[in-house]
Amino acid sequence: MDELAADRVRGAAEVRAGAPGTTVVALRGEIDISNVDELAAVISDRLPEVPGAVVVDASGLDFLDSSGIALLLRLSARADTLVIRSPTHVVRRVIGAAGLTDVLGVEP
C-alpha cells in the first residue's frame, strides 16, 4: 500500500490500480492547507502518466477545505474522467456548496 504515514499528517492517500484503465485514489482523514501538498505529492508520484479514469474513494474522508477541493480539481484536469465515490456527508456538503457535484462526478 502506497500511503503517507498518518503520524506526519491527519490525512492519508493510497493510489492503486482498479478495473482496466482505472486508477483508484483512496483518501482518508482530513485534507486541508496543512497537509494538501504532501498528499498531492503522494498522489502525483504514484498516478500513471496518463491515468485514464480515476475513481476517488472518499468513504474514509472526514473533512476537506478549499485546498482539498483544489486538489480534486487538479486531479480531474489530469484524468480522462473522474468520479468521487462514496463521499461522507460532510465531504458531499463541501463539494455541493462549491457547486462542483456534477463537475467532480459525485456518486453515492
User: What's the pLDDT at 96?
Assistant: 94
Distance CA 68, CA 84 (A): 13
Query: Given a cut of 70, is residue 106 above it in pLDDT?
Result: yes
pTM confidence score: 0.87
- Confidence band (pLDDT; 50, 70, 90) for 7? very low
pLDDT, tens digit, 9 for 90 and up, residues 22-57: 999 999 999 999 999 999 999 999 998 878 899 999
Average pLDDT over residues 10-17: 92
In 3-state terms, what secondary structure has residue 62? strand
The residue extents of the domains of the chain are 11-107
Answer for the pair 83, 107: CB distance below 8 angstroms, yes or no: yes
In CATH terms, is domain 11-107 a member of 3.30.450.20? no
Q: Is the pLDDT of residue 1 over 90?
A: no
Burial class (CB in 10 A: 0-12, 13-18, 19+), 85: middle
